[in-house]
């Protein structure tokens, strides 16, 4: 019986320790502060110039963060979700709604993880499936208690 438990426990330990991987965090936030657009948060999606704003561009953990995407009115968001880059976090839905100006808004909250410097990816799939999916990688600001 002991010989059966040892391989199983080894497998569990390998899975647990391989959940985290070394990923280099981006130097700058891919998000602009609301009302302060710069080139660092402007992306080309086919012929559309799309900007991504956040109320907190440093992306602090355990803080409500409002996201705003402008320039994508004619693209339409089919699906958006967050995934962990350096630690498996599953696929966390991001529910964008259209505001009065036709831009997309969503509220997110990044959870605190065992990984001290969590790296995330915001993934967006457009209504027109012929368009390539879009994503940005960003570092979360660690939670300060």
CATH code, 122: 2.60.40.1930
Handedness of CA 52, 57, 62, 66 (dihedral sign): negative
For residues 65-92, give the mean pLDDT.
94
Residue 96 lies in a domain: yes
Cα Dmax for the chain: 66
Number of helices and strands (H, E) in the chain? Answer: 1, 10
Between 87 and 39, the higher pLDDT residue: 87
Confirm whether 17 is domain-assigned. Answer: no
What's the pLDDT band for 22 if we cut at 50, 70, 90?
Answer: low
Assigned domain for 11 exists: no
The domain total for the chain is: 1
Q: Per the domain annotation, does 103 fall within a domain?
A: yes
Task: Copy the structure tokens of residue 58.
Answer: 């440093």
Residue 32 lies in a domain: yes
Instruction: Give the three-state DSSP class for 65.
Output: strand
Give the mean model confidence (pLDDT) for residues 49-62.
Answer: 93
Q: Is residue 111 part of a domain?
A: yes
Query: Looking at per-residue confidence, does 82 or 19 come out higher?
Result: 82
E strand or H helix at 134: strand 134-139
Strands of 134-139's sheet in order across: 92-93, 77-84, 119-126, 134-139
Q: Is 79 among the domain residues?
A: yes
Tabulate helix, strand, coil % of the chain (nearest 5).
15, 35, 50
Structure confidence at residue 91 (pLDDT):
96
> In the predicted model, is pLDDT for residue 62 greater than 90?
yes
Q: What pLDDT, on the 0 to 100 scale, is given for residue 125?
A: 97
Taking all residues of the chain, what is their mean pLDDT, rounded to a whole number? 83
Write out the residue range of the structural domain in which residue 94 sits.
23-139
Answer yes or no: is pLDDT of 78 > 90.
Answer: yes
Q: Is 136 exposed, middle or buried (0-12, 13-18, 19+ CB in 10 A)?
A: middle
User: Which structure tokens are listed for 98?
Assistant: 């259209």
In a domain, 91, yes or no: yes
């Amino acid at each position: 019986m002991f010989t059966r438990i040892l391989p199983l426990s080894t497998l569990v330990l390998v899975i647990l320790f391989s959940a985290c991987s070394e990923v280099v965090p981006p130097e700058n936030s891919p998000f602009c502060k609301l009302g302060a657009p710069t080139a660092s948060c402007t992306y080309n999606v086919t012929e559309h110039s799309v900007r991504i704003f956040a109320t907190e561009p440093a992306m602090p953990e355990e803080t409500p963060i409002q996201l705003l995407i402008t320039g994508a009115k004619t693209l339409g968001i089919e699906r958006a979700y967050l995934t962990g880059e350096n630690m498996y976090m599953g696929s966390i839905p991001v529910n964008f709604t259209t505001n009065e100006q036709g831009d997309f808004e969503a509220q997110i909250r990044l959870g605190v993880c065992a990984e001290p410097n969590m790296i995330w990816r915001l993934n967006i799939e457009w209504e027109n499936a012929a368009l390539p999916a879009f994503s940005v990688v960003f570092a979360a600001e660690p939670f300060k208690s």
